[in-house]
Copies of this chain bind each other. A is one copy, B any other.
């Protein structure tokens, strides 16, 4: 799940300004849900490891006005998109802007000295790594003793919805299997706490952040259920068929069942896990 919070949704059904504001508030609900509790003091140095197109960097900058953020990614194109996305964004009124430095780097081989950062932030990244344990060890190395790590990941096994459907379950399972075959883990949320503890962090605190969308929250239905979750599942259709996991018609049946959870009286639950931990003093 690459950018669950900030896809630009084509939600232009002629709403009034008031309605638009209400919908925007709802879309912000997801960002608030994930980023609530994250804050960085002015002057602190923060590493965002795996910033992608900067979807979370904007929220980090808002959470740390006056902080210095080093945002890295292995993909230069994403990095360029992130920089363009955030350039010229004004800080919140009366607040000092965060400074953001964009660097092309591989989080598995961090080009920084030990204890370089006060805080490290990782969001929707570990799920794609073959060795999240080694990545966490590397992140701990560049974090000063006493500094904090924040990790946010999803867990596709947390999805449950109405109407329930076994074909919907099946296509989600196909996505999980394909991500595993690529070396990742779409079910990583449930094991964040043990991963952090095994990497030597202390004060590990993992907490669920559950998104719920139904007809009373149309912006979440559209922005999360439909355009983030279902779109992500739909994006592996050809790969799933090519891998022999199912036929095209079968996959499409799963997608139709998922669509029903974003229609009429449908409901959709998904749990992200947010974990914080400390790099202990020697």
A: which residues have CB within 8 A of B?
A: 155, 157-158, 160-164, 187, 190-191, 193-194, 197-198, 204-208, 210, 212, 214-216, 265, 267, 269, 271, 273
Contact = CB atoms under 8 A, between A and B. Distances in A.
A212 B206 CA distance: 8
A25 to B, nearest CB: 15
A131 to B, nearest CB: 18
A194 B158 contact: no
A99 to B, nearest CB: 35
Contacts of A269: 155, 158, 190, 208, 271
A187 B164 contact: yes
Contact of A206 (B161, B164, B208, B267): B267
B155 A193 contact: no
Contacts of A271: 158, 160, 208, 210, 269, 271
A267 B160 contact: no
Contact of A160 (B158, B163, B214): B158
Given A216-B205, A267-B206, A194 B157 contact: no
Given A158-B158, A206-B267, A193 B214 contact: yes
Given A206-B212, A210-B208, A267 B157 contact: no
A267 B190 contact: yes
18 contacts: A155-B269, A157-B160, A160-B187, A160-B271, A161-B190, A162-B191, A191-B265, A191-B267, A193-B215, A193-B265, A194-B265, A206-B212, A206-B214, A206-B216, A206-B267, A210-B271, A212-B273, A271-B271
Given A208-B210, A210-B210, A164 B160 contact: no
A190 B160 contact: yes
A194 B162 CA distance: 9
Contacts of A216: 193, 204-206
A230 to B, nearest CB: 16
A106 to B, nearest CB: 28
Contacts of A206: 212, 214, 216, 267
A266 to B, nearest CB: 8
Nearest to A163: B191
Contacts of A204: 216
A194 B267 contact: yes
Most B-side CB within 10 Å, residue of A157, A160, A191: A160
